[in-house]
Chains A and B, each alone.
Chain A
Amino acid sequence: MIRRNTIPFGPQHPVLPEPIQLRLVMEDEKIIEALPAIGYIHRGLEKIAEKKDFIQDVYLAERICGICSFMHSQNYCQGIESLMNLTVPDRGRYLRTIWAEIHRVHSHLLALGLLADSFGFENLFMQLWRTREIILDIMEQTAGGRVMLGTCCIGGVRKDISSAQATVVLRQLDQVQKECDEILPALLNDYSVKQRTVGVGVLPRDKAHELGAVGPVARASGIGMDYREQGYAAYPDLGFKKVVETAGDCYARTLVRVKEIAESIRMARLALEKAPQGPIAVPFKGNPTGEVLARIEQPRGELNFYIKGNGTRNLERFRVRTPTFANLPPLLHMLTGCQLADVPVIALSIDPCISCTER
């Protein structure tokens, strides 16, 4: 007779970077059922957005997440721009792409480092984060903040990258590429890493679709869904190629991220070289009216903002659906039937960001 136990995993746990509790119903070492409990850091961001005016909300949107901050403000600006029929100048589109792709590299390196930490490979974790430091330096030089860039504004961007800065950034991206080429094979080919990730937390394609998985989680299960294909910002000019894997396990999700780092560095370099000269932003007048569901591809997946304006300076409703919110139901499916020791690896393989999930 096997006894059932419930183990609370989190909200404070050595490997979890953010507060989420997973209530695991166990039979011996096997997980029968998993349920998330969130609400530890609900900040009421959607309510504040209604009280501030829509230009101030750009800075608010940027602070939804501390890792992929630029893309939140980019998505918000794209949503408002579509409500107000604004066209962003070419240079503005390119600069947005450059910062978004640099941000993606930094987010993926962070996620891979945390994954390495989750199975106790601390050396690799430190090395990946050392590489990430170069990216943070790039962002500080070009935008002024290491994580909160604050460069996106409605109608374009607020800061330009001069050609002297671009040369430095290209050189630093070379360095990032070189270090990634050294370290990432160690992550992919290591025997002990493969033991911990291959075949663990499998999410089949049909389940991924049914449970609404997005981003690297969906792409690792064989669903070729990447909103960059639809060509916002400067992606149509850069020859974007999406990365799709079919295995659906933790290793495939890692592989997707590793390949996306290379693709992002390539696109950031190309955009820096190809960016046309010209204005970086268009002026605008008036207030947004109407409703829109703005979408963007973030490092963790597809981000949706529902924005409803009523012709005043304040928004009627601002709703945020972050990728981790969509990836939690697939996570519950992955956890069911796995071993307790694999929970940290599986939880971190979806790259959870609970702060943006709760807003």
Chain B
Amino acid sequence: MLTNVTEIPVTQLHGEVWALKQQGYRLVTLTCCDLGDAHDILYHFDKDYTLKHLRLRLPRGESLPSITDLFFAAVLVENEIQDLFGVTVAGMVVDYKGRFLLSEGAPVAPLNKPIGIGIDIRAKAPVAEGGKAS
């Protein structure tokens, strides 16, 4: 089970990450989940095998501030989130502009949940004539 989780607003992200860096934590990774109307972003940190997590709720359409200026290790995973979830990450040190894992002609934000399935609270989008809702 995930313990030691701190929920923070987007504005406090930099301060919290900086504090953890000062305490000698190592960035393990970021995890992004699609919650329907928002993205749930988890920052995992580790120090002497003790995990600490920061949880961020990012409403759809808002951009995520990058932490690559503090932890360069986040550069790959932030690009990955930008590719697979369509979240704009602002201020990355190295920005692949959505072409990190995906190429031209690839599906857009493939890891987002399809609209109207599962936990998604949004109304099901009307199916276009002859097309598929995706």
Contact = CB atoms under 8 A, between A and B. Distances in A.
A contacts B directly (C-beta below 8 A): yes
Contact of A293 (B2, B24, B99, B100): B2
A42 B53 CA distance: 27
A306 B31 contact: yes
Closest 9 CB pairs of A and B: A212-B73, A321-B29, A306-B31, A42-B101, A39-B101, A317-B33, A319-B31, A291-B2, A329-B73
Interface in A121-173: none
Contacts of B115: none
Given A291-B1, A321-B29, A210 B72 contact: yes
Interface string B66-96: 0000011101110000001000000000100
22 contacts: A39-B99, A42-B102, A46-B111, A209-B24, A210-B72, A210-B73, A212-B26, A212-B28, A230-B49, A292-B2, A293-B2, A293-B28, A293-B44, A302-B28, A304-B29, A306-B29, A319-B31, A321-B29, A325-B76, A326-B28, A326-B29, A329-B73
Interface of B: 1-2, 24, 26-29, 31-33, 42, 44, 49, 51, 53, 71-73, 75-77, 84, 94, 99-103, 110-111, 118-119
A320 B99 CA distance: 20
Contacts of B51: 293
B122 to A, nearest CB: 17
Interface of A: 35-36, 38-39, 42, 44, 46-47, 82-83, 209-212, 225, 227, 229-230, 290-293, 302, 304, 306, 308, 310, 316-317, 319, 321, 325-326, 328-329, 358
Report whether over half of chain A's contact residues are helix, strand or loop; otherwise say mixed: mixed
B26 to A, nearest CB: 6
A343 B96 CA distance: 23
A44 B110 contact: yes
Contacts, number: 79
Contacts of A225: 49
A316 B28 contact: no
Given A82-B1, A209-B24, A302-B28, 19 more contacts: A39-B100, A39-B103, A44-B110, A46-B84, A47-B110, A210-B72, A211-B73, A212-B27, A212-B28, A225-B49, A229-B49, A292-B1, A293-B53, A306-B29, A321-B28, A325-B29, A325-B77, A329-B75, A358-B101
B71 A290 contact: no
A304 B118 CA distance: 26
A319 B31 CA distance: 7
A35 B33 contact: no
Contact of A316 (B33, B71, B94): B33
Nearest to A225: B49
Nearest to B51: A293
Contacts of A46: 84, 111
Most central of B27, B77, B101 by chain A CB within 10 Å: B101
B2 A38 contact: no
Most central of B32, B42, B53, B73 by chain A CB within 10 Å: B73
Contacts of B84: 46
A290 to B, nearest CB: 6
